[in-house]
Structure 1
Amino acid sequence: MKKLALICLCGLAAASIMTGCGASQTEGKENLGTVELSEYKGVKVNVPAVMVTDAEVESKINQVLSQNPKIEEVDRPAAEGDIVNIDYVGKQDGVEFAGGTGEGQDLTLGSGRMIDGFEDGLIGTKKGDKKELNLTFPEDYSEKALAGQDVVFEVTVNAVKEKQSAVLDDAFVQSVSDFKTVDEYRASVKEDLLKQKQQSADLQIQQYVLKNVVENSKFKLNKNTLSRRYNDRIKQYEEQAKMYGTNLSGMAKANGMDVPGLQEAVYASVKDDVKNQLVILKVAELEGITLEDADRQAFAEMNGQTLEAAVEYFGQETLDEMALNQKVMKFMADNAVNEAQDADAPAEETTAGETAAAEETTEAETTAAQ
């Protein structure tokens, strides 16, 4: 059985930005509870400045080279891994069948794209060759009328091509990018890698700061809300389990747990989500942080989408909630104090997680029915 993910955390599901200024925070009509915030400005982190080495740049360029091989026509018999350009006609009992004809099709031998025997039957053929392939469709073929049936493919080989290692030169750069020279392309690769690492480091700081504030704040969580969210999430997991042909017990077992253990983990996850939301909402309230169109646009771009596509995918309300999360977390991160000793050290050598392990934190929590 395919292993199922235990907790499908989809980021912070922040509450509605239309919150009141009273002690109780709500998500729409949902009462989350209350929070007494710890200090959320000046949180100490230890995340060194990011850097990109020449070796990392070359590794990325080599990856692009391998993904974009040079295709050259060759005058020799086709071998596995070659690309053959073919015309073909499929016949059953001498009559062409639907979907069995193609012209000028490129086929990589050994790709498994065609039914068994088709690609192997073309190994050794040359440009101009014509070959008949007597084959049998598999019993479980999607087109029931052809499943298990004997057919003949009449194939004409138009060309045999081989994949050759690409060479990093100006011509290659122009074929895979908007740059004109190797130097420009190499600089852009380094810039992209640096941007990716910086985004990762920024997210690392944001997550650590939020975690620190949550751990040091005091909460009074609404039992009814926790219960309702817990039940909703359990139902979601039960539905997911059914999709994989199992049940909650099977899901738990797939993750090395029993049902009570899974339920406990789900409840803990729900509590964490509510605490995160309370902190986000309270900081937004205290700092007067509101959502603007530019924030929505930034969130969409972070997810590689246009704003219109993001609204369609997430829905306007959810997009607004997540965009507010992003804005508040960035605010807290921007107001953190980075105590990294070696600003030139790679970020992965000293992480916020290690800092968290070294610092003592306390959490005071009470849960009240409301």
Structure 2
Amino acid sequence: MKKNILAVIMTVMLTVMMTGCGKSNAEDQKAPAQSGESTEQEADESAEGAGDQQEHSDEPAYLVDFHAGDYVTLGQYKGVEVELLEPEVTQESVDEYMEYVLSSHAQSSPVTDRSAQNGDIVNIDFEGKLDGVAFEGGSAKGFDLTIGAGGFIDGFEDAVVGMEIGETKDVDLKFPDFYKNNPDLEGKDVVFTFTLNSISEQTIPELNDEFVAELGIDGCATVEDYTKFIHDGLMEQANAAFEEEKTSAAIAAVEANVTFEPAPEGMTNRMKETLMDTVSSYAQMYGMSVEDYVAAAYGGSADAYEDVILEEAGKMAQRYLMIGAIADAEGIAITDEELDRILEEEAANFGYEIEEYKEELDVEAYREYLLVQKVVGFLADNAVVKEPVLE
């Protein structure tokens, strides 16, 4: 699982802003660079005092609690060079997508006047036996099989080719030497009994103006219209992927130019809790233990997953501070007015009263989320894209 810096940052931001428990009093300590309510001198005094309290605290800490520049020394961050291929859509890509659309509209029709052949969808009963005894997972009735689709041991699908409807036959097959689904069957000779119940074939529609009209897409009445529609859609996807890659590459390039000090404990601990929540959710989604998911996603051993999470949390906290330092240097901020306006719009969209909606959020973390969006957008806009040198 290759990590993407932008994806990691934004995933954590989205998670952390929903963490309502353990909030600090950050809303009462907002730096004037974000609130616009104090003088610069008051900002320095407020942030310095908060930073002294939070640096070695176990309490959750936010960018507003520190002078980010005390923990990072910025290098070049405007105009960093990133190597990327410009987005494009080839005719081959358009043709492949067109074939996919046609295949998805294929019609199935029964076949009764011939034997089964490659590409057919057949309905079969089968039973596998090892030394005359049926083995677990080797039998099924009324199973639909697409001949040639793959996914079975060698010879399984080929065994059905040439069979007639209602025919039953035994076929000698052999499991591969490595078979993770059932290691007990590795390298074993078995006998499968097949019964062919029915045959059907897929008829792919012809690409013509009539087919395009049936799709009901506004502005598409002809094959030419639809071809342009597909090209434009793929181009939109390519542009979006390009912008995401450029943003991630820009962040990585900027990070490479930064000298970091260890992040404050309060911020690192906050990131650790958030990362643990995030990886636990993903581990459950993939049916993995947290330990194994962390090892797969971040490296290291499963036994040392807590150390890996702590290390990643420290890096994430440093990235936050890097973003905060750039925001300070460029005068990029999320004012109280801007934050309130966005929260009010979102509360209305989700059917909440504004105060009720704020109770569901870690509001200061959400301010950070919005700030990250602004800063990474700034970095991407100022990055210089160069064509990679192909060897």
Counterpart residue number, 2:178: none
d(CA) in 1 for partners of 2:86, 2:107? 38
2:61 to 30, 34, 39: 30
Quote the sequence identity (%): 21
1:68 to 105, 118, 131: 105
CA separation of 1:215 and 1:68: change in aligned 2, threshold 3 A: same
Counterpart residue number, 1:280: 323
Question: Aligned-pair distance for 1:332?
Answer: 1.5
Alignment of 1:218-229 (within 5 A): 218-220=259-261, 221-229=263-271
d(CA) in 1 for partners of 2:11, 2:299? 26
Question: Aligned-pair distance for 1:66?
Answer: 1.6
d(CA) in 2 for partners of 1:250, 1:48? 32
Counterpart residue number, 1:189: 230
TM-score scaled by structure 1? 0.53
Alignment of 1:14-25 (within 5 A): 14=13, 19-20=30-31, 21=33, 22=43
Counterpart residue number, 1:358: none
d(CA) in 1 for partners of 2:165, 2:233? 44
5+ residue gaps, structure 2, are: 18-25, 34-42, 127-138, 145-163, 167-198, 352-356
Counterpart residue number, 1:95: none
Counterpart residue number, 2:255: 214
Question: Aligned-pair distance for 1:162?
Answer: 4.4
Counterpart residue number, 2:211: 172
Contact 1:47/1:205, CA 8 A, preserved across alignment: yes
TM-score scaled by structure 2? 0.51
d(CA) in 1 for partners of 2:324, 2:99? 46
d(CA) in 1 for partners of 2:312, 2:125? 43
CA separation of 1:40 and 1:235: change in aligned 2, threshold 3 A: closer
SS in 1 for 2:202: strand
Matching residue's letter, 1:274 = A
d(CA) in 2 for partners of 1:68, 1:10? 40
CA separation of 1:199 and 1:235: change in aligned 2, threshold 3 A: closer
Across the two proteins, how many residue pairs are aligned to each other?
A: 267
SS in 2 for 1:200: helix
d(CA) in 2 for partners of 1:31, 1:210? 20
5+ residue gaps, structure 1, are: 84-107, 126-159, 301-306, 341-348, 355-370
Question: Aligned-pair distance for 1:117?
Answer: 2.9
d(CA) in 2 for partners of 1:50, 1:253? 30
- CA deviations 1:243-280 (Å, max 9, x no partner) are 95857489659987435643343223212221222233
Counterpart residue number, 1:86: none
Question: Aligned-pair distance for 1:169?
Answer: 1.1
Matching residue's letter, 2:313 = V
Greater fraction helix: 2
Counterpart residue number, 1:333: 380
- CA deviations 1:306-335 (Å, max 9, x no partner) are x649xx9xx765776545433331222111
d(CA) in 2 for partners of 1:326, 1:37? 19
Matching residue's letter, 1:117 = K
CA separation of 1:249 and 1:12: change in aligned 2, threshold 3 A: closer
CA RMSD of aligned residues (A): 5.1
Counterpart residue number, 2:94: 57
Alignment of 1:190-339 (within 5 A): 190-220=231-261, 221-230=263-272, 233-234=275-276, 248=291, 252=295, 257-259=300-302, 261-285=304-328, 286-290=330-334, 308=350, 322-339=369-386
Question: Aligned-pair distance for 1:42?
Answer: 1.6
Contact 1:13/1:277, CA 8 A, preserved across alignment: no
d(CA) in 2 for partners of 1:54, 1:227? 50
